[in-house]
Structure formats: C-alpha cells, structure tokens
C-alpha cells in the first residue's frame, strides 16, 4: 500500500504564488492546501493538521511572524515544522529567523522547485528523526 501523501499548508497573500507552489509540490508527490492571507491561517492549520507549513512572512494584516509566534505558543500546533517563504533575504533576517526564532528552514523568493522540495525534505526528515 503506498504511503499517504504528506500535507503541506501554504499560507501566502498572492494567489499566483500559491498556485505555483501547488504545481511544484504536487508534481513532487505532496498534497498542498493553500490559504490566502493570514486571517484564517491558524484555523486552517488546526483543521488540516499539516505535516509542514510554508509561511509567507510579509502579508498585510496578520503577518507570518504573528502566525509563527501563535503556532509556537499553542501546544496543539507548536511541533508542526514551519518554513518561511519570503522575498526578504538579508543575511540578518535569515540569521534571526533561523537562530533566534528557531524556524526550521528559510526559503527566499524567487525559488525553484528543487530548492523548495529539498528544504521540505530536510525538514520532514529531521522531524521523523526527532519523533523516532
């Protein structure tokens, strides 16, 4: 029996980026659920219980950092791995995200399918190792 598809939740404020990520990841064998904007993100995370969240950091209204902090403060959501996907690629921002905030990886726009899938695979592999 084939292994069930891993679910990736993509939270992004640009519908075209959600579509692009869906195409990239579905061809790589993932199930992708897109959420437009941050307002309903936590509700979608609770409903879908994804294996991983791709999170745009710079969204109007509820930004990605707010969502990330709320996830880490919630015992039900705190162990779900998060990869920020953002146009911000300054060294200091990347360092803060990885070292201070403790995100699992960091992908900058524009990105390619190989880069995105490789980041997801690394994070999911570490998650499997951690959980035994």
Give the structural domain span for 106: 7-131
Q: Which of 14-23, 29-38, 88-97 has the lowest mean pLDDT?
A: 88-97
Query: Number of structural domains, the chain?
Result: 1
Residue of 90 and 104 predicted with greater confidence: 104
CB 104 within 8 A of CB 123: yes
CB count, 10 Å around CB of 35? 25
What does the alpha-carbon distance between residue 32 and residue 59 come to, in Å, rounded to a whole number? 20
Residue 66 lies in a domain: yes
Position 1 in a domain:
no
How far is Cα 4 from Cα 67, in angstroms, rounded to an integer?
27
pTM: 0.88
User: What's the CATH code of the domain at 79?
Assistant: 3.40.50.2300
Query: Shortest CA distance to 98 belongs to which of 90, 107, 106?
Result: 106
pLDDT tens figures, 39-49: 999 999 999 99
């Amino acid at each position: 029996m084939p292994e069930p598809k891993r679910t990736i939740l993509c939270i992004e404020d640009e519908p075209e980026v959600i579509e692009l990520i869906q195409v990239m990841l579905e061809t790589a064998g993932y199930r992708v659920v897109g959420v437009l904007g941050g307002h309903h993100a936590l509700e979608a995370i609770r409903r879908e219980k994804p294996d991983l969240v791709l999170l745009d950091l710079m969204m109007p209204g509820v930004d990605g950092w707010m969502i990330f902090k709320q996830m880490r403060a919630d015992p039900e959501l705190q162990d779900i791995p998060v990869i920020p996907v953002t146009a911000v690629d300054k060294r200091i921002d990347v360092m803060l995200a990885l070292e201070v905030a403790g995100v699992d990886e960091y992908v900058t726009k524009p990105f390619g399918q190989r880069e995105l899938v490789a980041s997801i695979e690394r994070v999911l592999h570490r998650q499997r190792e951690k959980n035994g």
